[in-house]
Amino acid sequence: MNAPPRNNPVSIWRKQVIRRNAVTRAGTAIVFLTLALFVGAEARAITPPRADFNGDGKPDWVLTNPSTRQTAIWFMNDATLLSGAVGPTLPPNWLLLDAAQFDSPTTSADFFLVNTSTLQTAVWYMNGASFLHGALGPTLPAGWGPGVVQDFNGDGHPDLGLGQHHSDKTAVWYLNGTTLIGGAYGPNQPAGWKGVGAADFNGDGHPDLLWWNPTTRQTAIWYLNGVQFLSGVLGPTLPAGWAPVLVDDFNRDGKPDLVLWNQSTRQTAIWHLNNNVFVSGVLGPTLPAGWILVGPR
């Protein structure tokens, strides 16, 4: 994929003619405006994590055992495992797709599920690792599969990304809890690339898409405004044997990071990013045999 060049997020200031009797005041204003722009470009609001189950403001990891259908939550501090708790067991034919806060009566993140046979969706409202109650969501149309869960229209409610099987079409279903309130087509998926997650990588307040090419191990970011593609840029290439699983701000610096998993060794790691640039990496806990991290597939 030839990624379009990245746009500069900071506007270019053009020089203007200033009358002599306003030079002093204008010069002072320019100094303060430039300082404000510099601070705004460097500082970034730290958004709440999507999968915070214990209310400590830090993203946690959700695991599932495909054989037993058991779920579990690992309470994390960046790449450090603090503690774990067993969660509810999934019923047959239901897949735990992702976690987000779906207007739960608690501050805990919730489970988003899909039935692989009927294409029915559902939300399990959680209190930490404890199941409170569930609600059915919309049924996916035939030929479409669920993708990332993220607030694409900025209304404070998680939405659902969709992908059409055997084509490159994508779409977003706008949700209010489990109620479908609208939909829109998104940009076509590039051939050979898989969607990993959605987060605001360039700090413009809109979620962007992270892609991964399993053949070349290259990553890329598509900058979006809602469902509209703005531009794209290549990211770091993953080492052999590793695959991306989760996207969130794990070290709480206001910039999304990437969780990696090595299927052979079951080792995890976090790559801390600054937009599309690799900053540093740290090893995380090793997953127990039979368990996988929950994330878009």
Q: Is pLDDT larger for residue 118 or for residue 34? A: 118
Q: What is the pLDDT of residue 296?
A: 62
Q: What is the pLDDT of residue 44?
A: 60
pLDDT in tens, 132-148: 999 999 999 999 999 99
% of the chain residues with pLDDT over 90: 80
Which of 33-47, 99-113, 193-207, 248-262 is predicted with the least confidence, judged by mean pLDDT?
A: 33-47
pLDDT in tens, 5-19: 333 222 222 232 233
CA–CA separation, 120 and 52 (whole Å): 25
Q: How confident is the model at residue 255 (pLDDT cuts 50, 70, 90)?
A: very high
Residue with tokens 């640039």: 277
% of the chain residues with pLDDT over 70: 84
pLDDT at 91 over 50: yes
pLDDT in tens, 169-221: 999 999 999 999 999 999 999 999 999 999 999 999 999 999 999 999 999 99
Q: What is the pLDDT of residue 4?
A: 31
Closest CA to 197 of 236, 165, 230, 152: 152
Task: Kindly state the average pLDDT of the residues 243-271.
Answer: 97
Q: How confident is the model at residue 295 (pLDDT cuts 50, 70, 90)?
A: confident
Q: What is the pLDDT of residue 48?
A: 82
Task: Kindly state the average pLDDT of the residues 119-127.
Answer: 97
pLDDT at 150 over 60: yes
HSE-up of 291 (CA within 13 Å, CB side)?
18
Q: How confident is the model at residue 30 (pLDDT cuts 50, 70, 90)?
A: very low
pLDDT at 3 over 70: no
Task: Kindly state the average pLDDT of the residues 257-280.
Answer: 98
Q: What is the pLDDT of residue 43?
A: 52
Closest CA to 177 of 108, 123, 111: 123
Phi first, then psi: give them for residue 68, nearest 5 degrees: -95, -15
pLDDT at 90 over 60: yes
Task: Kindly state the average pLDDT of the residues 20-37.
Answer: 34
pLDDT at 93 over 60: yes
Task: Kindly state the average pLDDT of the residues 71-90.
Answer: 98
pLDDT in tens, 40-68: 344 566 778 889 999 999 999 999 999 99
HSE-up of 268 (CA within 13 Å, CB side)?
22
CA–CA separation, 237 and 193 (whole Å): 13
pLDDT at 23 over 50: no
- Print burial letters for 259-287: b (CB count within 10 Å at least 16), e (below 16): bbbbeeeebbbbbbbebbeeeebeebeeb
Q: Residue 130 forms beta bridges with which residues?
A: 127
